[in-house]
Amino acid sequence: MTATNITRTVGIDKSSIEVGTSTTVTASADSTTPAIDDVVSGDASATAATTAQAAILNSRIKIGTSGTLNAVEEGTVGAAATTTSGNATASASNNGPTGGIINTWHHPNQIQVGTNAVVSSTATNDALAVAEAVDGASSASANAGKVFGLKNVGLNAGQGTSLAASATGTSTAAAESVGLPPGTGASNATAGAYDAKVVGIYASGAKGGEVPPPTDEDAASASNGGEKKPLTISFGSTGTVSAFGTGAFDASATSVTGAADAQSRAKLVAGIAVGRDRFSNSNGASESQSAPEMTSPGGLVMSFGENGAVAAQGSVGNGGVGARATAETVTGPAAATVGIKTIGGIVDVNRLGNQSLSNGPGSSSILTVGKDGDIQAAAVGNSAASAKAVTAPANVDVSATTNHNNVVGIAIDKLAIGENATRLFAQGFSKQAATAQSTTSGGDPIASAANGDFVAGVHATTITVGRNATDPVADASLNASATAGAVTTTSGSTALAGNGSTVVGFNQSSLAIGENVLGTGVFRATAASDLAAGATATTGDTTARAGGSGSSVIGLNASPVTIGKAGSVAGSASGTVGATAASVTGDAVAEAAQKARGIKDSKIAIGTDGNATGTAGLTGTASATTTTGDADAATDLSAKGIDNDVTIAIGKAGNVTGTATVTDSRTLASAVTGATDASSDLKAIGIHLGNTKVTIGTIGNATGTATAAAPSVLSTTTTGDASVGVEQTAIGIKGSGYDGMGALSSSGGSAISAGLAGNVIGRGTGSALGTANTITGDALAGTEAFIAGIKKVDLSADNVTAEAQGTYGTNAMAVTGDATASSDVKVAGLLGNWNNASLNGDLRATARLVNEVMASTTTGMATATANSDVVGMSGYQINILQSGNITASAVSETLAQASTVTV
């Protein structure tokens, strides 16, 4: 049996309307499109679709002063297919232009309104598909389609006009199968699609290549005054814009004796967006050309003559889970996937990915405000994927995957505010959870969340403010968890969270403020990344990775910031990474790794008074435990408050502060029968300068503080070898350094000048306790650390303080095997390579180390080695211009103890 329902619903179509003052134009399109096929014996198929669903389509409207334009589109497509014996297929989709005010012609159509007008366009669309089969397979596909508040529709408005555009698309698909005989009841559910879009205000990207022949619609557009230019939305003087895109996707696949596959997908969910540029060769294949011909410029130019306010948000789950995929089966494989390509506040998708900094031909994305501007943009994503199999076939994955490839608040070519930015706020927020479970035997669960994802507040955007900006903020946040659980697996249980993810507050952009930062007086670029991975199995290997070598969180990255007069810049990055792998019979591997940078590769210039502050903080934990098998746990954290190619210049008074903190809360590798290895690699640098300089004009301090702590790094087993490795670096202020006795102003090297009256302070602190413990086997424990207050930086200040402190314990303990423990630690207060320090006051350089090494065994050889190098000051030329004191001290408390009963 087959049920098909296809509709077209349009309020105003291919019309030109011109009305006078104080006129209200209302257009609406409201439709319900159901298709139901319910059979007992045989296949069931239901298809519900729309070919067009719009309040206003391909029309031009002109309204005089004090007019109102309301466009309201609401649509529901629903398909239900049910059968007892046979296959069930349900499809519900919007296949044509869908939204409030839509233009599909080659050139943008314009809406013209006079002063004090109100323009509102709202689109709300639901797609629901349900397929149920008892003896057969089921397939449900629901796609609200490409839903827009405004699409390729320009606006020319007088002063005092408001524009509100919103789009909501909800796609829900549910497939359920029993399957008789076993293996025949596959269920597939898809919510959304790879090309699904939900956008408040949308402008197509540029097109180019060979010039296509004109179509009838192009001719109609030309007769209505269409022009080849970017989409334009302009306000004569004052105006407001609100644009919201809200997408919801829910796919559920349930089977008893077959495979279950659930997918929730979308290409773009945004408040305001410019689509992808497309250039094609003579064969029609999309590719870049050396000199393509622009057939359609594409893009969006939004402008306000004087004062303007823009609020835009793209959200997938604002306040709850917005994209969900659930796949459950009793005897079969299960796969649940959430894939959202881009979520944006105000975004030009050509600024994202590999094309983000391309200078080739393409669309323009520009937002300008003549005088005072209020700009806020947010991208919010919240997704969950769950896959569950009771008894999956051997060597078959039970997989749950979530991805928000790009979540970005603002990413456009240019944002310019002529005078004051009363508000400048951009945020990207991504939350994801993936859970994969094989509850009895067979399958190999794999949970993957946010791997390779990119989250940013502002990306690849040039921002200028003519006068003052009040509390500008760029914020990015990622929260991802992956959980994989199994009883008896074939290959193992794997959980991956945030591997290769990048989270940046203000990224590859620029900010120029003509005068002052008002309010709190601080431009804040903040980023946070919280990642958790957990894998368990009764029989089989387990692997949990949180973060990874390519995972990073950065406050301010590769972005020049200029403040003409007074104001401060603060870049902060924080993160937590936790990995837990547990098995009863099998190997366990847990890895937690992350990099954090407060301010990285950026030039900061403050005209008069202000501070530059970079803060980076990370906390990690890794736990690998098993009864029979090997256990490996590793924590690798790197944090720098101010990093690398950073130049900071403060015209008058201010402070430069870099703070880095890394904490390995616990790294544990534990087994009963098997080898264990626990490693902790921590690096913290408060201020790390390349061949760059920090200068303060009059009064101010430069302070770098670094802290690295690993209170518990433990490798323990009953039968097998146990090994521990600890590596630490903690430096308050670090430069590139150079050979020779050059002056402070010489080229090359790193330098800090604290002005006419100011201090330079560098503090480094490190601590760790590493223990390897075994009953039957060898125990090996090693520590390597370097701690410094200030290293390889030329200094000019009133007073200089360089302090370093390290506290380390390294223990190897065995009963019937060798025990070897070693520790090699260097601690320096002020360490240079013939660098210069020019002072008007005191110099204090202190270093202190406690280094204890112990090795013990009952039957075997015990070896304990402690290498300690402690120096207060080394490699500096000191010049005190007036009067002052120099204090350098080094304190070392070292113990190496080896004990054995029988060798």
Q: How large is the average pLDDT for residues 413-419? A: 97
Please tell me the distance from the alpha carbon of residue 432 to that of residue 496, in angstroms, as a whole number.
12
Q: Report the pLDDT value the prediction gives residue 317, as an integer from 0 to 100.
A: 86
Per-residue model confidence (pLDDT) at position 293? 57
Q: Which two tokens stand for residue 619?
A: 């906390």
Q: Please say whether the beta carbons of 720 and 673 come within 8 A.
A: yes
Q: Kindly report, residue by residue over 615-656, the tens digit of the pLDDT.
A: 999 999 999 999 999 999 999 999 999 998 889 999 999 999
Q: Report the candidate in 605, 578, 557 with the shortest Cα–Cα distance to residue 455.
A: 557
pTM metric for this prediction:
0.95
Q: Helix, strand or coil for residue 349?
A: helix
- Report which of residues 903 and 292 the model is more confident about: 903
770 in helix, strand or coil? Answer: strand
pLDDT for the residue 382? 97
- Which token pair is 801? 């303080």
- And the tokens for 17? 């309307």
Nearest of 789, 863, 792, 860 to residue 828 by alpha carbon: 789
Distance CA 244, CA 123 (A): 10
Exposure string (b/e) for 802-836, b if CB count within 10 Å is 16 or more?
Answer: bbbbbbbbbbbbbbebbbbbbbbbbbbbbbbbebb
Tell me how far apart the alpha carbons of residues 852 and 846 are, in angstroms, rounded to a whole number: 20
DSSP-assigned letter for residue 395: T
Given a contact cutoff of 8 angstroms between Cβ atoms, the answer to whether 73 and 122 are in contact is: yes
Q: For 158-172, 353-367, 835-849, which range has the lowest pLDDT when averaged over its residues?
A: 353-367
pLDDT at 165: 98
Mean pLDDT of 569-588: 97
Helix (H) or strand (E) holding 453: none
Alpha-carbon distances, residue 809 vs 3, 391, 500, 803, 893 (angstroms): 75, 48, 33, 21, 12
Which tokens is 605 given?
């210039």
Residue 289 has pLDDT above 90, yes or no: no
Please tell me the predicted confidence (pLDDT) of residue 740. 32
By CB atoms closer than 10 A (0-12, 13-18, 19+), residue 886 is middle
Amino acid letter, residue 248: A
> Quick one: 30 exposed, middle or buried, by C-beta within 10 A (0-12, 13-18, 19+)?
middle
3-state secondary structure of 353: helix
CA–CA separation, 135 and 15 (whole Å): 52
For strands 294-296 and 207-208, give the pairing: antiparallel
pLDDT (0 to 100) of residue 213:
52
- Reported as a pLDDT band with limits 50, 70 and 90, residue 743 is very low
Closest by CA position to 790, among listed 753, 827, 738, 758: 827
- pLDDT over 90, % of the chain: 81
The mean pLDDT of 484-509, rounded to a whole number, is 92
Q: What's residue 514's pLDDT? A: 97
Kindly report, residue by residue over 183-196, the tens digit of the pLDDT: 678 999 999 999 99
Which pair of tokens denotes residue 462?
A: 């040039």
> What H or E segment, with its residue span, contains residue 217?
helix 216-223
When comparing pLDDT for 759 and 110, which is higher? 759
pLDDT of residue 747: 37
pLDDT value of residue 683 = 98
pLDDT above 50: residue 315 = yes
Q: Which amino acid is at 425?
A: F
CA distances from 452 to 342, 594, 686 (A): 13, 13, 27
E strands along 443-498, which residues?
444-449, 454-459, 462-465, 469-470, 473-489, 493-497
431-471, pLDDT tens digit by residue?
999 999 987 766 789 999 999 999 999 999 999 999 999 99
Q: Label residue 182 by pLDDT band (50, 70, 90).
A: low
Residue 739 has pLDDT above 80, yes or no: no
**Tens of pLDDT along 215-246?**
444 444 444 444 457 889 999 889 999 999 99
What does pLDDT average to over the chain?
91
Query: Residue 734 pLDDT > 80, yes or no?
Result: yes
Residue 217: both structure tokens together: 């619609």
Whether 427 has a pLDDT exceeding 60, the answer reads yes
Does the pLDDT of residue 357 top 60, yes or no? Answer: no
Q: What is the pLDDT of residue 318?
A: 75
Evaluate if residue 540 carries a pLDDT over 50.
Answer: yes
User: For residue 749, what pLDDT is reported?
Assistant: 66
Helix, strand and coil content of the chain, in percent to the nearest 5, comes to: 0, 75, 25
- Per the model's pLDDT, the better-predicted residue between 229 and 253 turns out to be 253
Specify whether the CB–CB gap between 572 and 530 falls below 8 A. no
Please classify residue 901 by burial: count the beta carbons closer than 10 Å to its beta carbon, then call 0-12 exposed, 13-18 middle and 19+ buried.
Answer: exposed
Q: What is the mean pLDDT of residues 285-299?
A: 56
Locate tokens 């005989």: which residue? 181
Q: What's the pLDDT at 295?
A: 61
What pLDDT shows up at residue 667? 98
